[in-house]
Structure 1
């Protein structure tokens, strides 16, 4: 039996932990499990999975897939009570369905020195029909208290051979021991992949002869595998990450081929060559991509007759962007209709970007569709095609050897920009002539923030001046969406953020909602606290980061900002040198991230009757590996400290 175990492992230097008081390698509940009510290695844990076990195999009678599940969980406090509510997902079609049997659940408590057991009653097991394909069986264990230990087990039966049971090793609470056993017949070939940043402590496979028998003497050997992990930390979500499904430790299966006992072979896994052919002729998306459009029906003569390809592409993009509204639907393989989009002026992602594709193609512009999986949807598998993992479609345009990625679903996007949700590392370029290929999805422009404060301390001891700011890239996109829908509310929010400032003469000087930048200017009057002969002034009227987004002790998954960016703040204060001297000012600092991947430069200069303060924060990578986490955490801490604790002291002479 040939099977491929594909490891997508992040290198982790996480220190493994253990708690010897718990009986972590057995489903049996011990007194120590009940009596132990602390977990020193993770004091934030609300519950602990002491033991988790799964066993999946093929039924010898009807070849259904059977999975036996057992779990033992310690409830440490009230916030962990949610672990006592279990939901089992079942899949069904019109003629087949999964089922769950043999549900047994027990709550163990220590009452006056005695162990009590409370069994789950059958009447407390509920069935919820979610939709035509999905059902949930739910139950909550009874008599839950702080310190309870719960156990539950059940058997899942599935007729869907293509859907071998995947297994999660990691949870949002610590897990002490997690074991998954599988038995896969040699005539069922699966692609197997282990995902996440945790290492298996057990990974073995043995061959069992004639584990499955068919008619006419047919039989198959089985590969019996054991996967186990110990001391698995809780997976805690934090800012600057893509979908947790990219990093949560688990094993997944996809059926590649199935060879029946009568010799027939069924191929379930496809090659990209096969997918390209099917995609081109698909009744929804393929058919729509091949539709021809009469440009005269939609575009003005000025656009049609434009000679410059880049100008024409920009005009077509602007037309689609302004004329059609995205309905918020991510469907890309269903309900795709350019005709309905043109009629209703609203449609899903595929309909809008396919219309853009077809108009550009009709205008003799080199354009190809790109399938992507958004940041919240997880990474698409690269080793073999899994079309269901894609949930979004954009376009790649090539003009004079320059590549642009276009998405017309957002009215605020500049030409060549795509929404932040699309920055998920890579996509599949669908080239029907030369074959599809993977392409990197990266921002086309830098994302920067620049603030300049020119201030003056006059003879009446009033501090006033002008703020000028410019944002580019995704920083500009975010602020355009804040300002243009309601300028009055934007200005009010700005005033509320800085109660010690009086803001006036506010003006936006950029070129509208599709501008590649967002520029604003305004006048401020600074209301400082009167301390007699001294003036204490924090030069940072604007702060880039209000708090440190990194709070974990350790992080086992990448820090994914999505794009590189730079923050630049320049402050200059002029004053009457006959009345004041600068008694104190902040010390200069330079702080670098490892491997020249980022830098903070902070400086102050006194020249005559003026003082200048400069802060530059440079993130030179869009994505930092988990080994950078401690450095980034300290880096952010230094930024917060500089912005909040930098004081200038002016004294009267």
Structure 2
């Protein structure tokens, strides 16, 4: 067995001390319901929890009679309030293929409630268990616990019978509600070798393994030993999503199994885990990948002579990219390994991700530009495993072009993207660069340039006591991309701008668009109100807020902070107040850095004759921060929010 791989997952602990006497849930490792559990009204470690798993148990083993994989499961759940009632509806997925299917047996479920001091029990009847076909590979079994009330404890159990030993049942220790105790037991005959992967950052309270001799035997005298394992986690927090994260599947605490080899009693060995060398060979002849990548395209029918005759390689690549981007429309389907056809794309002017980007690849290649496709997984889809090839982990295809020793990542499916820019959803750390002749390899997927937001404003205090001025803003790269898409509807864009800045009056709004320039530039005039008390003028220097609130609110976060790209923010204000006023109070200067110089926040205020210059600069120098940086980032943004909300300029009228 290979070494287990450990990934970070969320560990949150909400400490809530009750001000009154409160029954507590005892750590009773049992499926049996006790009176303390029924009296429990709140989970002290997470007072926001609507439900709590008190106990869950799983046991997977190979049945000696028919050699099916059998998994017994038991669950005990406390419903703390009505918002937790969804946890009383249970859905179980049964897998099937053309030859076999999983089965479920021995479903039992009971609701326990305290009614007038007495324990009331209600059992689930067979008539309230339903089956429905979900798709060609899954059937759903559903049931809802009967007669639930606030404070009820529900128990349910069942047995899964699976003929698919290659799909050994994994176990999810963490979910959407907290858990007190979760236990999983496994028995794996030596015939089957799995890669066992522990995902998530929380440690196991119990992790034991032993060997049971002759646990499995077959006719003819064959027998095998079994690896017996027990895994336990305790006090598992609910997984809570927060900004700047990728798919929760990267962090949820669980155990996954991937079958590597099967050894028959006759000495035969079947390898299920492929190497990338094998996968590259298969992709080379795959009708949706290799054959499409090698398909010739009629460049004389598609590209103008202005493009094909261009001698500057970068200009030629840009022109080809723009042609594909403008002429062909993504049909909103991914299907990177299915229904891929360059021929149909050219005919219909519409196609899936692979069809469009493979056409881009083939046109560039036909014009002697060095290109290779890249397989990747989007942020919502989760990280692809690097341990061994799992082609189903990938759901996107882009193109890498190398021009004058510089590489560019290209995606022609989005008409708002600039040359060398891929969608934000594709910024998921790494991808697989396909070289079907010389072998594929992993490469990093990250933008080289930072994305910036910049505001420059000049405000003037005129003789009538009004503050008016002009604002210019500039956004680059991914910040520009967001605005370009939003500005597609000018009316809605302007309304959002006004709604986000309710304290200022905006007029003469103008956006400068240059097709050859990827930035988003805008300017507008403003009228800025202020508070006049006792002849003094009180105003905030931040009529525009770079951040409305701190995006980091958790007490603790043990999964990475993934911005996707490096961020820079500038806010520059010049306030001209004339000779009639002088500065009575101004904000204090600040200079704060993240550990290891991975970020910086600078706020400075300088007075020069009859004007004041204010600068706020925020540099977030990493696209991805490990979870250890969370408390520092949280404090960092608290300072930013505090400076925006509580900075004050006081002008005093000269006598």
TM-score normalised by L of structure 1: 0.97
Deviations 1:209-268 (A, max 9, x none): 111112322221111111111111111111110000000000001111112223332221
Q: Aligned runs of 1:459-538 on 2, under 5 Å? A: 459-483=463-487, 485-512=488-515, 515-531=517-533, 533-538=535-540
Question: Post-superposition shift, 1:186?
Answer: 0.5
Secondary structure of the equivalent of 2:98? coil
Say yes or no: does 1:77 pair with 2:75.
no
Which residue in the other structure is 1:575 paired with? 577
Secondary structure of the equivalent of 2:4? strand
Contact between 1:49 and 1:175, CA under 8 Å: does it hold in 2? yes
Q: Distance in 1 between matches of 2:489 and 2:8?
A: 44
| Comparing 493-502 and 592-601, the one that deviates more | 493-502
Deviations 1:38-77 (A, max 9, x none): 2211111111111111111112122211111111111111
Which residue in the other structure is 1:540 paired with? 542
Question: Post-superposition shift, 1:433?
Answer: 2.1
Which residue in the other structure is 1:329 paired with? 333
Contact between 2:13 and 2:237, CA under 8 Å: does it hold in 1? no
Distance 1:569 1:400, change over 3 A: same
Which residue in the other structure is 1:408 paired with? 412
Q: Distance in 2 between matches of 1:32 and 1:231?
A: 18
Contact between 1:417 and 1:444, CA under 8 Å: does it hold in 2? no
Q: Distance in 2 between matches of 1:143 and 1:510?
A: 62
Contact between 2:9 and 2:251, CA under 8 Å: does it hold in 1? no
Which residue in the other structure is 1:202 paired with? 206
Question: Post-superposition shift, 1:453?
Answer: 0.4
Q: Distance in 2 between matches of 1:503 and 1:427?
A: 44
Distance 1:13 1:57, change over 3 A: closer
Say yes or no: does 1:228 pair with 2:232.
yes
Which residue in the other structure is 2:20 paired with? none
Say yes or no: does 1:172 pair with 2:173.
no
Unaligned runs of 5+ in 2: 17-22
Distance 1:562 1:235, change over 3 A: same
Q: Distance in 2 between matches of 1:387 and 1:380?
A: 9
Secondary structure of the equivalent of 2:420? coil
Say yes or no: does 1:624 pair with 2:625.
yes
Secondary structure of the equivalent of 1:143? coil
Which residue in the other structure is 2:588 paired with? 587
Q: Distance in 2 between matches of 1:226 and 1:516?
A: 56
Which of 31, 34, 51 lines up with 1:27 in the alignment?
31
Which residue in the other structure is 1:639 paired with? 640
Question: Post-superposition shift, 1:500?
Answer: 3.1
Q: Distance in 2 between matches of 1:65 and 1:409?
A: 44
Secondary structure of the equivalent of 1:217? coil
Contact between 1:189 and 1:255, CA under 8 Å: does it hold in 2? yes
Q: Distance in 1 between matches of 2:475 and 2:14?
A: 43
Contact between 2:69 and 2:165, CA under 8 Å: does it hold in 1? yes
* Dislocated runs of 4+, deviation >6 Å: 11-20
Question: Post-superposition shift, 1:545?
Answer: 0.6
Q: Distance in 2 between matches of 1:595 and 1:107?
A: 54
Aligned pair count reads: 648
Contact between 1:12 and 1:627, CA under 8 Å: does it hold in 2? no
Deviations 1:582-625 (A, max 9, x none): 11111111222222221111111111000111111111111111
Deviations 1:61-108 (A, max 9, x none): 222111111111111111111111110011112221111111101111
Question: Post-superposition shift, 1:294?
Answer: 2.1
Unaligned runs of 5+ in 1: none
Contact between 1:380 and 1:386, CA under 8 Å: does it hold in 2? yes
Q: Distance in 2 between matches of 1:563 and 1:470?
A: 17
Secondary structure of the equivalent of 1:270? coil
Q: Distance in 2 between matches of 1:16 and 1:252?
A: 28
Which residue in the other structure is 1:51 paired with? 55
Q: Aligned runs of 1:280-291 on 2, under 5 Å? A: 280-291=284-295
Which residue in the other structure is 2:607 paired with? 606
Q: Distance in 1 between matches of 2:43 and 2:503?
A: 46
Which residue in the other structure is 2:254 paired with? 250
Contact between 1:5 and 1:194, CA under 8 Å: does it hold in 2? no
Distance 1:13 1:48, change over 3 A: closer
TM-score normalised by L of structure 2: 0.96
Which residue in the other structure is 1:7 paired with? 5
Say yes or no: does 1:558 pair with 2:556.
no
Q: Distance in 2 between matches of 1:630 and 1:411?
A: 39
Which residue in the other structure is 1:183 paired with? 187
Say yes or no: does 1:318 pair with 2:336.
no
Q: Distance in 2 between matches of 1:89 and 1:205?
A: 29
Q: Distance in 1 between matches of 2:485 and 2:468?
A: 29
Contact between 1:198 and 1:249, CA under 8 Å: does it hold in 2? yes
Q: Distance in 1 between matches of 2:405 and 2:220?
A: 63
Deviations 1:254-291 (A, max 9, x none): 11111222333222110010001001111222211111
Say yes or no: does 1:383 pair with 2:384.
no
Deviations 1:449-496 (A, max 9, x none): 11000111111212111101111111010011111x122332232223
Q: Distance in 1 between matches of 2:541 and 2:177?
A: 43
Q: Distance in 2 between matches of 1:216 and 1:297?
A: 69
Deviations 1:113-155 (A, max 9, x none): 2111110111111112111111111111011111111111000
